[in-house]
Amino acid sequence: MRKENLSKKNIEIPWVEKYRPKSINEMALPTARLSGQKVKLNEELINFIKNFFLERKRVNQENSIIRNFNRTVIEKEQKKEIKISTDKAAVLLEGQPGIGKTSIVYALANDFNMEVIETNASDTRTRDKLEKKLKETTKSRGIMDFVTKTKEKLILIDEIDGIYGVKDRGAVPTVIDLIQNTQFPIIMCSNNYKSNLQTLYKKIKRFEVHPLPKREILKIAKKILKNEKITNLDDEALDLIIDKNNGDLRGVINDLQGICQGVIEGDVKELILKLRRDSTEEIFTLVKDLFYVSSLREARTLTDKSDVDYNFLYKWINENLLTFIKSNRDLVDAFDNLSLADEILGRIRTNQYWSLLPYFFDLFAGGVVLSRKDTPLSKGFKRIVFPRYSSGGFFSLTNTEKEFAEKIQKTYEISQVDFIQDFLPFLKILSSTSRKQLKNISDWLDLDAKEKKLLK
Amino acid sequence: MTQEIPIWRIKYYPKNLDQVCGRSFVKETLKHIISQKNFPHLLFIGSKGIGKTTIAKLFSKSFLGKDYGANFKLVYANVPLSEEERKQAKRESYVSKSKIGSIAGKTITTPAFIQAKVKPFIQLKVLGDTPFKILVVKNFESLGGNQQGFRRLMEIYGSNCRMILITTKISSIIDPIISRCQLILISQVKFEDFKELIMDIAEKESLEISDSVIDFLFKVSEGKISKALDILQLSSISGKKIELDKLYEDTQKFQNTQLKSLLLISLKGNFPKAREIARKIISSYKYNAQEVFLLLLDEVNKLPLSRFTRSTLINLIADSDFRAVGGRDNDIQISALLSKICRFSEYL
């Protein structure tokens, strides 16, 4: 029975893949803006690809002339080879997740009969790897290219905002370098504007892609439902799903699949609410949902599915643990798992042991929420709170404390650590004895109201 | 400043080497060095709060004379760098991958520390007509494995800048550093010297003070003059005559009762309350997880507990501390320990 179920599930491909548009002309195109001007994305992109190949042809021809010329003259008089200008070599699509940026690229490639070489934030973490993967494909064209006509290639750099960071130092120059020397058109996707990427923005066309209007999403959703022969979802529920996803078409399709394959009976509305992906409330729902799961696998699915940064997520879990887990026996297990997860993350960060990451996920999500054993969750409203207590491990004073310390340091050499742990407590005791003392101290140090408050 | 300084420990802070209480042997040695106008790198060793930094500072002051301001710098190895300094250092140096085990190692990457605080000072030429500059590094042991970075610095820039390293734990200083320094042991103040100082201050503040009070003060302050003065000042507020009882009462105020109550509440099994107290302690004292664990360990040893409880608690604390070395979030690590103690309390 169980085996049957599993094998059946494996055959089913995600609907997102199943209904991915094959051609750019048949897909519902999101509206796009290029430096404030509304443009038609499909025309722009088709022109971009066509122009790129024309430009490449021209540049290559000119270069071969230059090369021939260079062979005949001495080194000093040699001309430099020309390159394809960067704004003709690459474009950037920018927009919120799930509105079809990647789909556009694949549909486009399909129309032009090109092969897509994709790289995204998950697999290229360092400059070296990025170079290795992309440079080979962009610079060389393969030995066989001269003999047989192979497919042209389209390079897709997905989640470009994700590849930049401390760990990926040098990734942006690499990408720019890549654009300057490419033999294939490059399309980049990113979720939001990053100031780090400004040097890149200057060199290329940046399209702002906006979410699809609701009626378009509704049209697509209805088409899918019709195709899948699903009838138990009424219009109201469909509306709810679309609203919840806030323009995220991928989210809508995923939700539809989740609902239609998960249950036939039951309260559809409740299920929709559970599946909601609303970005502003996502973390609240996610944390709440996590504590209701009953198996490690469910917890895993939840954390995998979400876009929430795990660096924050485990702090949220730490903050809200007490709401859901009450007994000391369960708490011990929960915190044991959580602190181990924390240690693992620390070791990953200091030593780059990225292979430990799966344990981290399982421990902080599954390990924690499954620590609640026999005690059932009490009914009633559970408030999810923001992790107000953040402790990054760095010693840092508040601004008021810092100013206070500086005032003292003018006359008395004391480190910030000693000030806060040793000297300030004494000042507190001293000033609590009488008003006169408080006045003396604050007059002498010329304290303002905020700093006086520290003494209380 | 026209107004009198209201804090005694600042008011009676020594102005020169002669005013430093006791330690005549050390003072003599340092005075000899001053007359020689030359010294090797120095390493000051002594327990916490007894005046190592004060001596180092006053020594540098009289050694450098009028050029003191430009040629002297005091850096704290245990105070983490500010955000800007860290960014600055990061830009200039690569991130260290050394595996650091000490408390401070978690918060400081020493290449950054050296880049931001030490190098800019020691690379500059000497100003004025002193032979070299003086750099004082406090809490040197908290640099942990990154003391290695100082080895070459001490050699390359040694002629330009002499260092005075200050530490409480000689055992955590690496051998190559020790071999490059002249060791100077700074002992606690002797009772006679302490008594003389207190009597002197009592006279200036027109206090009435008995021998037994001084005796008690000496014991309580553990040789830390600043602490003794704090207590004395507090007691003096209520009257010019210092009573032993009053003094004892005031001493109690100095003890950090919050940690004790933290331990007691977790031993009662009340986790939410314990966590709240722990957070309060951390936000006001800025301890990191490991400092809290060490303080808790102190409390465990002070409280009257059965042998079994005590050993179990020590075991739990050690276990948590071990994990916190690699961890990143103080709150989670402390909560983990508290939850363990709460659970343990159910068996008692």
Q: Could you give the angle at which helices B289-302 and B271-285 cross, rounded to 10 degrees?
A: 120
Size of interface A-B (CB pairs under 8 A): 157
Q: Which residue has the higher pLDDT, A196 or B114?
A: B114
Look at residue B339 and give its three-state secondary structure.
Answer: helix
Whether chain A has a CB inside 8 Å of the CB on B145: the answer is no
B320 chain-A contacts, CB cut-off 8 A: 339
pLDDT tens for each residue of A250-262: 877 877 777 776 5
**What does the pLDDT read at residue A378?**
66
**B130 — contact with chain A (CB < 8 Å)?**
no
Identify the weakest region by mean pLDDT among A129-143, A302-316, A384-398: A129-143
pLDDT tens across A67-112, in order? Answer: 888 888 777 777 777 888 888 888 888 887 778 888 888 888 888 8
With a pLDDT cut of 70, the percent of chain A lying above it is: 77
Is residue A54 within 8 angstroms of chain B, CB to CB? no
**Paired sense of beta strands A186-190 and A205-209, if any:** unpaired
Q: Residues 328..357 of A with a Cβ closer than 8 Å to B: which?
A: 328-329, 331-332, 334-336, 338-340, 342-347, 349-352
Q: Do B80 and A395 touch (CB under 8 A)?
A: yes
Superfamily of domain A29-209: P-loop containing nucleotide triphosphate hydrolases (3.40.50.300)
Q: Does any CB of chain A come closer than 8 Å to the CB of residue B331?
A: yes
Secondary structure (3-state) at B187: coil
B233 and chain A in contact, CB less than 8 A: yes
Query: Residues 104..123 of B with a Cβ closer than 8 Å to A: which?
Result: 106-107
Answer whether A322 touches B (CB < 8 Å).
yes
A427 interfacial to chain B (CB closer than 8 Å): yes
Note the pLDDT of residue B318. Answer: 94
Report the gap between the CA of A311 and the closest CA in chain B (Å).
Answer: 10
Q: Is the pLDDT of residue B311 over 90?
A: yes
Which of B80, B329, B336 lies nearest to residue A391, judging by beta carbons? Answer: B329
pLDDT given for residue A3 in this prediction: 41
For residue B254, give the chain A residue with the closest CA: A426
Question: Per-residue pLDDT averaged across B81-104, rounded?
Answer: 56
Give the model's pLDDT for residue A307. Answer: 67
pLDDT of residue B322: 92
Ranking A296-310, A434-448, B278-292 by mean pLDDT, the lowest is A296-310
Structure tokens at B324: 């916190």
What would the two tokens of residue A207 be?
């399209």
Where does A112-247 have alpha helices with state H? 127-139, 160-163, 171-181, 198-203, 214-227, 235-245
C-beta atoms of A335 and B340 within 8 A: yes
In whole angstroms, how far apart are CA B107 and each of A416, B77, B320, B325? 14, 11, 18, 11
Mean pLDDT of A314-320: 83
Secondary element (H or E) of residue A53: helix A41-72
Complete DSSP assignment for B100-166: --STGGGT--HHHHIIIIIHHHHHSPPPTT-S-EEEEEESGGGGGGGGHHHHHHHHHSTTTEEEEEE
Check whether B96 has a pLDDT greater than 70. no
Listed residue (A386, A387, A407) closest to A397, CA to CA: A407
Looking at residue B9, what is its pLDDT?
Answer: 85
Q: Express as a percent the part of chain B with pLDDT over 70.
A: 91
Confidence of residue B100 (pLDDT cuts 50, 70, 90): very low
What pLDDT does B110 receive?
46
pLDDT surpassing 60 at residue A139:
no
B160 interfacial to chain A (CB closer than 8 Å) = no
Residues in B closer than 8 angstroms to A328, CB to CB, are 269, 271, 339, 342-343, 345-346
Contact predicate A345/A393, CB 8 Å: no
Selected residue of A316, A332, A403, A455 to mutate for chain B interface (largest B Cβ count, 10 A): A332
- In angstroms, the separation between the Cα of residue B26 and the nearest Cα of chain A is 21
Rounded to the nearest 10 degrees, how much is the dihedral formed by the CA atoms of B96, B101, B106, B111?
-30
Residue B37 and residue B97 in contact, taking contact as beta carbons nearer than 8 Å: no
In this prediction, residue A37 carries a pLDDT of 79
Give the C-alpha separation, A285 to A279, whole Å. 10
Q: Residue B164: pLDDT band by 50, 70, 90 thresholds?
A: very high
Copy the structure tokens of residue B116.
């931001």
What is the Cα gyration radius of chain B?
A: 23
Q: How far apart are CA A146 and CA A310, in angstroms?
A: 48
First to last CA, chain B: 59
| Least-confidence region, from A115-124, B152-161, B196-205, B320-329 | A115-124
Distance CA A240, CA A232 (A): 15
User: Does the beta carbon of A310 lie under 8 angstroms from any beta carbon of chain B?
Assistant: no
Confidence of residue B265 (pLDDT cuts 50, 70, 90): very high
Residue B256: CB atoms within 10 A of its CB come to 15
For B274-291, write each residue's pLDDT tens digit. Answer: 998 998 888 888 888 888
pLDDT for B310: 92
| Residues 211-230, chain B, touching A (beta carbon < 8 A) | 230
Give the C-alpha separation, B11 to B50, whole Å. Answer: 17
Tell me the Ramachandran region of residue B294: left when phi exceeds 0, alpha when psi lies from -120 to 50, beta otherwise. alpha
Per-residue confidence (pLDDT) for residue B339, from 0 to 100:
93
Which B residues, 274 through 303, put their C-beta within 8 Å of a C-beta on chain A?
Answer: 275, 279, 282-289
**Residues B6, A396: C-beta atoms closer than 8 Å:** no
**Looking at residue A388, what is its pLDDT?**
64
Kindly list the distances between the CA atom of residue B272 and the CA atoms of A326, A363, B257, B278, B320, in Å, as whole numbers in the listed order. Answer: 9, 22, 19, 10, 19
pLDDT of residue A271: 58
Distance (Å, rounded) from C-alpha A49 to C-alpha A89?
9
Amino acid at A105: V
Q: With a CB-CB cutoff of 8 Å, which residues 156-195 of chain A face chain B?
A: 166
* CB-CB contact of B316 with B337 (8 Å): yes
The mean pLDDT of chain A is: 76
B61 interfacial to chain A (CB closer than 8 Å): no
Residues of chain B with C-beta less than 8 angstroms from the C-beta of A435: none
Structure confidence at residue A392 (pLDDT): 52
Q: Does A372 touch chain B (CB under 8 A)?
A: no
Weakest mean pLDDT among A45-49, A389-393, B160-164, B299-303: A389-393
Question: For A385-394, b where at least 16 C-beta lie within 10 A, e where not — what string?
Answer: eebebebebb
Greater confidence (B64 vs A173) lies with: B64
At A180-238, the pLDDT tens digits run 877 788 888 887 776 667 777 888 888 888 888 888 888 888 888 888 777 767 777 77
Rounded to an integer, what distance in angstroms lies between the CA atom of residue B74 and that of residue B292? 27
pLDDT at B338 (0 to 100): 93
| Nearest CA distance, A353 vs chain B (angstrom) | 12
CB-nearest partner of A328 from B6, B269, B328: B269
What pLDDT, on the 0 to 100 scale, is given for residue A135? 59
For residue B320, which of B304, B305, B341, B300 has the smallest C-alpha distance?
Answer: B341
Q: Which residues pair with B44 in a beta bridge?
A: B166, B184
How much is the pLDDT for B217?
86
- For A430, the closest chain B residue by CA position comes to B234
Q: Are B88 and B116 in contact (CB under 8 A)?
A: yes
How confident is the model at residue B273, as a pLDDT? Answer: 92
Residue written as tokens 């249950």? A263
Sign of CA dihedral B71, B75, B81, B87: positive
Lowest mean pLDDT among A174-178, B54-58, B305-309: A174-178
Tell me if chain B has a CB within 8 Å of the CB of A53: no
Mean pLDDT, to the nearest integer, of B106-131?
73
B249/A contact by beta carbon, under 8 A? no
Domains of chain B: 23-185 (3.40.50.300), 191-254 (1.10.8.60), 257-345 (1.20.272.10)
Residue A31 has pLDDT above 70, yes or no: yes
The token duo for A21 is 């548009």
Among A250, A319, A327, which residue's Cα sits nearest to residue A290? A319
Residues 6+ apart with CB under 8 A from A184: A117, A137, A138, A152, A153, A154, A155
**Is B91 near chain A, with CB under 8 Å?**
no
Instruction: State percent of chain A over pLDDT 90.
Output: 2
Give A389→chain B minimum CA distance, Å. Answer: 8
The predicted model gives A256-278 an average pLDDT of: 58
Q: Which residues partner with B74 through β-bridges?
A: B136
For residue range B130-141, what is the model confidence (pLDDT) as tens digits?
888 899 998 888
pLDDT value at B115 more than 80: no
Residue A38, beta-bridge partner list:
A33
Using one digit for the tens of pLDDT, what is the confidence trace for A382-395?
777 777 665 555 66
Distance of alpha carbon B57 from alpha carbon B63, whole angstroms: 10
d(CA B250, CA A115): 80
- Which of B58-67, B107-116, B311-320 bottoms out in mean pLDDT, i.e. has the lowest? B107-116
Report yes or no: B322 at the A interface, CB cutoff 8 Å: no
pLDDT at B165: 92
Number of Cβ within 10 Å of residue A264's Cβ equals 10
